[in-house]
Amino acid sequence: MEGDLQNRTKEFSLDTVAFYSSLPNGEVYYTLGKQLLRSGTSVGANTRSAFRGRSNKEFIAKLGVVIEEADESIFWLELLEKQQDINNDKLKALKEEANELVSIFVSIVKKSKNR
């Protein structure tokens, strides 16, 4: 499961980069896109870091960051969704994946806290 989640979050990060690259030019797209780029790529980086944690406490803390960053990505996607000239298929797929990742990691944190 560990490797699957690391690969899945890396793919989410790569998909975020691709989506950012496809955004139209303009200050609003640049600003919102940069925020999404930061939070979306952080999901993959912090997942990798979490699985390299030295303790259960550190693991839970890092996954908390993953949850926050994935949720923040959803927020930026929601703002971008309200703009014109956006590829809604890519956006919807990213938003759906971010929501699924939040659910998965919330479940893992809950189970890890009960250990």
Q: What would the pLDDT profile of 32-69 be if each residue is shown by its tens digit? A: 999 999 999 999 999 999 999 789 999 999 999 999 99
State the average pLDDT over residues 77-106: 93
Confidence at residue 84, expressed as pLDDT on a 0 to 100 scale? 78
Which residues constitute the domain of residue 46? Answer: 2-113
Confidence at residue 18, expressed as pLDDT on a 0 to 100 scale? 97
Give the pLDDT confidence of 4-25 residue by residue, as tens digits. Answer: 999 999 999 999 999 999 999 9
Report the CATH number at residue 63: 1.20.1440.60
Residue 2 has pLDDT above 80, yes or no: no
State the average pLDDT over residues 78-88: 86
DSSP state of 104: H
Burial of 18 (0-12, 13-18, 19+ CB in 10 A): exposed
DSSP state of 24: P
d(CA 56, CA 113): 8
Confidence at residue 88, expressed as pLDDT on a 0 to 100 scale? 84
Provide the number of structural domains found in the chain: 1
79: which 2 tokens?
């703002």
Angle at 31 between CA 29 and CA 34, to 5 degrees: 95
